[in-house]
Amino acid sequence: MAVMPWWRRVVGILGLLLLSTASLLVVFAALELMLRRNVIANQYYLQHEVLGANKTGPLVLILGDSFMAPLKGADIADYLYDSLSVHGVRIRNSAVAGTGPVEYLQSLRREAPLHHPQIVLLSYYVGNDLLNVGCGGNLNERLLPTRPLRAWQRLYVVQFVAERLRAVFPGRAFLQMDMLSLPPGALWAIDAVTRFARKARVAPQSVDYEAMKKAGIPAEHIEAARAGTENPWIVSLGAIYPDYFRDELLMRSECAQRAWSDTKRVLDLILAGAARIDATVLPVVFPHTLQVSSAHLALYRAWKLNIDDEMLHTDRPQQLLREYFESRGLEPLDLLDVFRSRKDMLYWERDEHMNAVGQKLSAALIAAAILDRGPDSVVAGRRPRAVPRKPRLPALSPVSLPLHLAIGDSAAPFLMGGFYPPESIDVRTFRWSRGRQSEIDVPLPVGSDIRMDFGVSPLDFPRSDRQRITISLNDIVIATVALQPGLHTYSATLPARLLGAAPAMLNFRYRFAATPHNVLRGSIDTRELAVAWYSIDFTRAVH
């Protein structure tokens, strides 16, 4: 039998190698195409899609973290798009889990030249955004423009593999794409895979499970963190930073105060970046679960986090954020009061992120704010409101009269803006007005005039002017009421001709507001107050 010449054997082997390589490239290309079309569902696709078929419609760019990040299935952005798509609005969601204001700034720098948004939705989560900026003193370096991903890192196949590995190994920061690099040489592919696998086996973990054990965190929670059924990053805080939520919510420590100063600096850069592209900024402030409900209190304490009652009732982050944004001419959408007024659970049972109920509620409030506050050029057919306010809740059935609203209690679902949290004196609850105006939305019945009686007490201080309240119903002024010192009840008539099918929008504008710290000796209260609200009663008017 004739022996095949050596060169023919070499050619045959090379041919098989070329055929195998070509087959692998075809498979790789097909997989890349399916991932790019989201035939195979993947997170990287969700982070790059623009929701909305209308290529010329106004665009909302979302900056945020895991509270707004795109998820498989449904997320806030999907629910938001359901509400806005009928108005031709498109959405580009650049939110990424585990990020903060510095990364929001980098996202704006990257996305603005590509998409030219008309509205920038700036999400701020009071549970971690402050300390995400932190007090490490390295802010200048972090604010430098980031290096874009290399071409190979942008491949959907590579991102998909990294995504799956992060799911398999929760709590391992070394699986982030920016930690990979390609070495030179002919065997670069084999070397890169080898180095990647070596990192996955031996690189140090960001979550220190031994420290969690030493801190006394119960074993079942450590195992749940390892499995990813509980957030390993939050569970680990009990071992490395037990005062984390205290610093985020009370903002008293030296670190928290430095972080707030740096956070304002980052927010200024974001606002300046939006101004350069003539985009309207809508700040949305998400509350921490501790501010809303005590449902997670036992869980956090089991994780050895330091929690006390003051943290359950504080709104200090929201106050500071409101003061900051209002000083820049913006009205933030603060979700705290609406969340506190709800009786249903808005968060997952063992996680501080919102469940579907919380996501849908947030999306409804954000959509209403975009439609109410956006300039005429942004959302066609919607006139912007002259008075910024919190958006109304989805339409409610008309209430029955007579209706009594205790402003410190039962009125909470109807308070749209301009009120501080409830307080009590001599068993009576009330709320101070916030700033120069307040607003409530009440689904009043139509067909006849309605009498409104309201119990209020103006802020009284030496040499103060006489307080007056100008009342508007659905943007039409109906009365101006002069107030006497002390608690009194006043009346106004709501004309039937101004009452429609939508909730009645009652706006109360005050002649002035003052800070007790500036006008009352010994006061440390820095809020901007005008009137203490006790109650409102609605009855059929009798002529």
Cα separation of 471 and 490, whole Å?
12
CB 392, CB 368: distance < 8 Å: yes
Query: Most confidently modeled of 33-37, 72-76, 181-185, 483-487?
Result: 483-487
pLDDT value of position 393: 47
DSSP string, 159-172: HHHHHHHHHHSTT-
Residue tagged 């002919």 (tokens): 186
Residue type, 422: P
Question: Which SS3 state, helix, strand or coil, does residue 152 take?
Answer: coil
pLDDT value of position 204: 38
Higher-confidence residue of 517 and 178: namely 517
Cα separation of 63 and 104, whole Å?
5
Burial of residue 138, with CB atoms counted within 10 A of its CB: 0-12 exposed, 13-18 middle, 19 or more buried: exposed
In the chain, where are the structural domains located? 8-39, 46-171+206-373, 403-540
CB 524, CB 511: distance < 8 Å: no
Fold equal for 46-171+206-373 and 403-540: no
**Statement: residue 471 has pLDDT above 90:** yes
Higher-confidence residue of 21 and 130: namely 130
Q: Which CATH class for the 403-540 domain?
A: mainly beta
**Statement: residue 462 has pLDDT above 60:** yes
In sequence order, what are the beta bridge partners of 61?
92, 120
Tokens of 315: 């709104």
pTM of the model: 0.59
Peptide bond before 375: cis, by omega within 30 degrees of 0? no
**Statement: residue 167 has pLDDT above 70:** no
Question: Which SS3 state, helix, strand or coil, does residue 455 take?
Answer: strand
43-96 residue pLDDT tens:
655 556 667 756 778 899 999 998 888 765 567 888 888 888 888 888 988 888
Average pLDDT over residues 396-405: 85
Higher-confidence residue of 233 and 376: namely 233
User: At a CB cut-off of 8 Å and minimum separation 6, what does 345 contact?
Assistant: 293, 295, 355, 357
311-333 residue pLDDT tens:
999 999 999 999 999 888 888 99
Residue tagged 């080898």 (tokens): 194
Residue tagged 């200024």 (tokens): 268
pLDDT value of position 128: 92
**Statement: residue 255 has pLDDT above 90:** yes
Question: Which SS3 state, helix, strand or coil, does residue 542 take?
Answer: coil
Q: How confident is the model at residue 376 (pLDDT cuts 50, 70, 90)?
A: very low
**Statement: residue 113 has pLDDT above 90:** no
Question: Which SS3 state, helix, strand or coil, does residue 205 take?
Answer: coil
Instruction: Match domain 46-171+206-373 to its CATH number in 3.60.15.10, 3.40.50.1110, 3.30.2290.10, 3.10.129.10.
Output: 3.40.50.1110
**Statement: residue 180 has pLDDT above 50:** no
**Statement: residue 277 has pLDDT above 70:** yes
User: At a CB cut-off of 8 Å and minimum separation 6, what does 250 contact?
Assistant: 256, 310, 311, 314, 316
Among 179-183, 375-379, 470-474, 508-512, which stretch is predicted with the lowest mean pLDDT? 179-183
Please count the residues of the chain: 543
Cα separation of 454 and 491, whole Å?
6
Nearest-CA neighbor of 115 among 42, 44, 70, 58? Answer: 58
